[in-house]
Amino acid sequence: MPGEEPNLEELAELCETAGYEVVYQLSQQRHPHSQYNIGPSKLKELAEAVKRLGIEKIIFENELKPLQEYNLAKALGVEMIDRTRLILEIFTLHASSLEAKLEIKLAELRYELPRAKEKVRLAKRGEQPGFHGLGAYEADVYYEEISRRIQKIQKKLDEIKRKKVISIRRTRLEGIPTIALAGYTNSGKSTLFRRLTGYPAEVSNKLFTTLSTKKRITRILGKPVYISDTVGFIKNVPAMLVSAFMSTLMEVVESDLVLLLVDGALPMPEVRQRLNVTLSTLRQIGVVNKPIILVFNKADLIMPEKRDKLIEMVNGAFPAVVVSAKTGENIDLLEKTIDSMLSGFVKFTAKIPLEEATPLLLSQLRERGMVESMTYHDGFLEVTATTPAQLAERIKALTWNGGSFQLSET
Ligand SMILES: Nc1nc2c(ncn2[C@@H]2O[C@H](COP(=O)(O)OP(=O)(O)OP(=O)(O)O)[C@@H](O)[C@H]2O)c(=O)[nH]1
Ligand SMILES: [Mg+2]
């Protein structure tokens, strides 16, 4: 499209992640041709390349209308897919959980729905790559079958989501905050997750390695927190793909704090653009009024002057840190920033009657709190600790009969 930045580099990266070898690239500046998307002379150029290089598949950055896809396949004799389809292929390769599999299926069906009618009509005009086997179906039957499957999968996903909501609420009752790692794909979310939790999440230089949320409990400067690793964002993703991943992204929406990762080693304009994409995707999934820390990752690849520029770019609008999830540089600074933004913890000294100091209470104190001192005397357990406000409130309730409870400055 005129005025649009070509995005071929990222497209090539996506192709490689999907297992394709990129042998030829072509771009053009014009409004999409109604019949072929590309113009007649580019079509000729492409046809020659297909012959010369033995190209097996053509991948378009632009969205293809069914008619364009059909005409192109007919003119070039090879299969044609667009960027959305390519991303779906990668998702299919990487999906391991049932939830992710269902989400991808849903996205595929939603992608297919508006094409279904048109495709069947076109298929009847002659068999083409990518349109196999559709001739036997009547357009309406095919269309309805897809709608029916969409509903069925949606129902299954709603059930998974319902269970998730229950588990998120339960976590909330414990009063332990949840921190979600969000950001562009390949920014290093899983690497940071590994560093903060010690859990060996899969890390790779491919795009969309992580497709389902992982959540682990850990401590930040002594305080217990849940950390969740999530699916990455990317630019130019149709809203339908984002909404299909809602069940996975719910963890971000329901979190208490978001660490928004951006690969700081990229050129400045790219960093700025990815920051824009990630912030607007967050808005799109319903993250509003939530504390966010900007984490510029890959510090080991960033020169000192550029680090300053990155922080300046944010203009004080967010707390921002430059870290290396890989080497651990500045992770202590990140932890301090997280700690300063975690609310809901209180420090107190309580005298609890011994009969109330059950093993369950003691284990909750150990698991969810930072205990400074704990002594027994005169039939009381005397504790000074920092815990989630909910737990402190429960402990306070145990002291009504002769004990005492006092909040202190943290
Ligand atoms: N040099 C350097 N590389 C890093 C750093 N953090 C992550 N990487 C590399 O960046 C690539 C992507 O890392 P991941 O942790 O898989 O990124 P992700 O954001 O989880 O990616 P997806 O799950 O695919 O969205 C891997 O090759 C990592 O080794 C860092 O601090 N410095
Ligand atoms: Mg990951």
How far is it, in rounded angstroms, from Cα 356 to Cα 400? 11
Residue 70 clears pLDDT 50, i.e. is over it: yes
- Among 89-93, 131-135, 359-363, the minimum mean pLDDT is found in 131-135
Neighbours of 314 (CB within 10 A): 13
297 - beta bridge partners? 263
- Predicted local confidence at residue 242, as pLDDT: 79
Q: Please indicate whether residue 126 or residue 239 has the higher confidence score (pLDDT).
A: 239
Ligand 1 and 330: CB distance under 6 A: no
Do residues 86 and 111 both lie within one domain?
no
- Predicted local confidence at residue 149, as pLDDT: 94
Least distant ligand from the CA of 326 = 1
- Among 180-184, 187-191, 202-206, 271-275, the minimum mean pLDDT is found in 202-206
Ligand 1 and 37: CB distance under 6 A: no
Q: Which atom of ligand 1 is nearest to the CA of 299?
A: 31
* Helix %, strand %, coil % of the chain (to 5): 50, 20, 35
CA of 320 to the centre of ligand 2 (A): 21
Do residues 113 and 72 both lie within one domain?
no
- Predicted local confidence at residue 139, as pLDDT: 64
- Predicted local confidence at residue 129, as pLDDT: 45
Residue 124 clears pLDDT 70, i.e. is over it: no
Ligand 1 and 207: CB distance under 6 A: yes
The encoded tokens of residue 87 equal: 């991303």
How far is it, in rounded angstroms, from Cα 141 to Cα 125? 18
Residue 184 clears pLDDT 90, i.e. is over it: yes
CA of 18 to the centre of ligand 2 (A): 16
How far is it, in rounded angstroms, from Cα 210 to Cα 95? 8
CA distances 57 to 52, 73, 128, 178, Å, are 14, 10, 13, 43
Residue 3 lies in a domain: no
**Looking at residues 128-154, what average pLDDT do you find?**
72
Does residue 100 contact residue 88 with C-beta atoms inside 8 Å? no
Do residues 326 and 184 both lie within one domain?
yes
Neighbours of 174 (CB within 10 A): 16
Residue 58's domain is classified under what CATH number?
A: 3.40.50.11060
Residue 191's domain is classified under what CATH number?
A: 3.40.50.300
**Looking at residues 285-312, what average pLDDT do you find?**
95
Neighbours of 273 (CB within 10 A): 16
Q: Please indicate whether residue 58 or residue 236 has the higher confidence score (pLDDT).
A: 58
Does residue 55 contact residue 24 with C-beta atoms inside 8 Å? yes
Residue 71 lies in a domain: yes
Do residues 305 and 389 both lie within one domain?
no
Ligand 1 and 230: CB distance under 6 A: no
Residue 149's domain spans which residues?
Answer: 98-117+131-154
**Looking at residues 152-166, what average pLDDT do you find?**
91
User: At 138, is the pLDDT very low, low, confident or very high (cuts 50, 70, 90)?
Assistant: low
Do residues 396 and 315 both lie within one domain?
no
How far is it, in rounded angstroms, from Cα 370 to Cα 386? 5
* Mutation choice for ligand 1 from 190, 193, 212, CB with most ligand atoms inside 8 A: 190
Convert 247-292 into a string of H (helix), E (strand) and C (coil).
HHHHHHHCCCEEEEEEECCCCHHHHHHHHHHHHHHHHHCCCCCCCE
Q: Strand 178-183 relative to strand 79-82: parallel, antiparallel, unpaired? A: unpaired
Residue with CA at minimum distance from ligand 1 atom 12: 186
Do residues 243 and 335 both lie within one domain?
yes
Helices (H) and strands (E) in the chain, counts: 14, 12
Mean pLDDT, the chain, as a whole number? 88
DSSP letter string, 207-238: S----S-EEEEEEETTEEEEEEE-PPB-SS--
Question: Of 306, 341, 376, which residue is a domain's last?
Answer: 341
